[in-house]
């Protein structure tokens, strides 16, 4: 395949890229390591899509109710997403509310849809 990447000056261009997983409907065929962290696991990408629809954010309890995963698994995925700034969290009373960081480079620069 003839790859044409004219004019893209991604700051991670020198790093290796990863093939876009089939469950991500993006125009990009290759993903940078950060983006691959975000969507490389299907469960993680499902979390991103859920949070993308939740304007007010969601708690781990709510996310666990939506996905057929254990709460520790959800928390692990959220921590990975936080490590690349894809999600932010705020503490509200006893709850922690997670929300999508829509300005994260994965969604903005690399155009991961959510």
Residue 81 DSSP SS3: helix
Does 39 sit near Zn ion (CB under 5 A)?
no
Does 81 sit near Zn ion (CB under 5 A)?
no
Does 86 sit near Zn ion (CB under 5 A)?
no
Does 84 sit near Zn ion (CB under 5 A)?
no
Does 51 sit near Zn ion (CB under 5 A)?
no
Q: Which stretch binds Zn ion (CB under 5 A): 24-32, 38-46, 61-69, 89-97?
A: 24-32
* Minimum CB–partner distance for residue 43 and Zn ion (Å): 19
- Which DSSP symbol is given to 29? S
* Minimum CB–partner distance for residue 63 and Zn ion (Å): 23
Give the angle subtended at the CA of 33 by the CAs of 111 and 87, to the nearest 5°: 60
What is the dihedral angle through the alpha carbons of 111, 90, 64, 35, rounded to the nearest 10 degrees?
20
Residue 96 CA to residue 29 CA, distance in Å, equals 34
* Interacting residues toward Zn ion by CB under 5 A: 32, 35, 106, 110
């Amino acid at each position: 395949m003839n790859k044409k990447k004219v004019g893209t000056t991604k700051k991670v261009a020198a790093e290796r890229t990863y093939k876009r997983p089939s469950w991500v409907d993006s125009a990009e065929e290759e993903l940078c390591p950060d983006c691959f962290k975000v969507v490389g696991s299907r469960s993680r990408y499902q979390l991103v899509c859920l949070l993308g629809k939740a304007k007010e954010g969601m708690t781990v309890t709510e996310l666990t109710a939506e996905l057929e995963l254990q709460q520790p698994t959800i928390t692990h995925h959220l921590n990975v997403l936080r490590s690349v700034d894809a999600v932010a969290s705020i503490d509200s009373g006893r709850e922690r509310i997670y929300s999508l960081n829509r300005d994260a480079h994965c969604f903005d620069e690399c155009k991961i849809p959510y």
